[in-house]
Structure 1
Amino acid sequence: MAQKYEIDTLDYRILTILQEDARRPFLEIARKCSVSGGTIHQRVEKLKEMGILKGSKALIDYKKLGHKVTVLLGIHLQSAKDVSKVIKKLEKLPEVVEVHYTTGNYALFTKIVVMNIDHFHKFLVSKLQVISEVESTESFICLDTPIDRELQLRP
């Protein structure tokens, strides 16, 4: 029978350190936490098994690669039953980087990253508005992202 694992202050400390730099070596984390490298390794593996730690990724400045426009896009559907079908179609569009199934005015709220306004226009006309289950959309062009951070974890 599997043991129930309780997240403790050490786990929260490990997660916080990994949020700052996911590539930080286990031995460096161990020194900061005053425990052994083996302890850090075991804790990280346990956090992965539990699905709390889902991996690591590089943070890329898309603007420096030419993707200069970010759009938040609300999507109204023809019918609420179509949400899964539309999500599967959105997954295939490389410009779509986030999809949220929401309450409120929109069934789906998405984040789109494109090269420029012309690219966004082509995306709307040739990729999004051709999805028959999409009734209408509302676009919000991001002018700036003054806050972009991870949630501060507390035990």
Structure 2
Amino acid sequence: MAAHYQIDDLDRKILTALVDNARTPYAELAKLNGVSPATIHVRVEKLRQAGIITGAQITLDPQSLGFDVCCFIGINLKSAKDYGRAIEQLHRLPEVTEAHYTTGHYNIFIKVRTRSIDELHQLLINRIQSIDEIQSTETLISLSSPIQRQISL
């Protein structure tokens, strides 16, 4: 990964377009920006090598797939040294879609998606709170998520 790669206006336009639709053809990006498709290809490759573009992915709508419950769980560990083992076990739970090592009240803050409140209840009791390294949890249920986006350039 290149240290502090400096993006310019063309890079910014390319990134904005690809974040909006990662399947945008290079030829279309080239036409929109008045450059050749080869220039777009070279720029995208440099952005990949710099670690700015880390992949392209399809975004799924969890509710359309039946995952109606979204919540955030603050986790307090028994000891700071338990972090690695706790993360390892949380990583095995497919319902955990994000995990953050945080400052403040919690050691770890996770995002969880389940199909129902009952499924969330079972996940908490049988799988998350049973992890030995976890001292306590606090669950906050999301009622809606009106803002979901990538960073703006």
Same-fold status (TM-score > 0.5): yes
Corresponding residue for 1:39?
A: 39
CA displacement 1:106-126 (0-9 Å, x = unmatched): 000000000000100110111
Identity %: 46
Q: TM-score, normalised by structure 1?
A: 0.94
Corresponding residue for 1:146?
A: 146
Task: State the AA in 2 paired with 1:112.
Answer: V
Give the CA deviation at 1:88.
1.0
Distance in 2 separating the partners of 1:88 and 1:25:
38
3-state DSSP of counterpart to 2:70: strand
Distance in 2 separating the partners of 1:46 and 1:90:
34
Distance in 1 separating the partners of 2:65 and 2:102:
30
Distance in 2 separating the partners of 1:61 and 1:30:
30
Give the CA deviation at 1:148.
1.0
Task: State the AA in 2 paired with 1:113.
Answer: R
Corresponding residue for 1:20?
A: 20
Corresponding residue for 1:81?
A: 81
3-state DSSP of counterpart to 1:130: coil
Structure 1 runs (4+) deviating above 6 angstroms are none
* Compared CA separation, residues 103 and 5, structure 1 to 2 (3 A): closer
Corresponding residue for 2:135?
A: 135
Give the CA deviation at 1:6.
3.1
Q: TM-score, normalised by structure 2?
A: 0.95
RMSD of equivalent CA atoms: 1.5
Distance in 1 separating the partners of 2:110 and 2:64:
22
CA displacement 1:12-67 (0-9 Å, x = unmatched): 11101111111111111111111100011111111111110011111111111111
Task: State the AA in 2 paired with 1:30.
Answer: A
Corresponding residue for 2:115?
A: 115
- Give 5+ residue unaligned stretches, structure 1: none
Task: State the AA in 1 paired with 2:124.
Answer: L
Task: State the AA in 2 paired with 1:32.
Answer: L
Give the CA deviation at 1:5.
5.0
Give the CA deviation at 1:86.
0.8
Task: State the AA in 2 paired with 1:138.
Answer: E
CA displacement 1:62-83 (0-9 Å, x = unmatched): 1111110001110000001111
Matched residue count: 152
3-state DSSP of counterpart to 2:46: helix
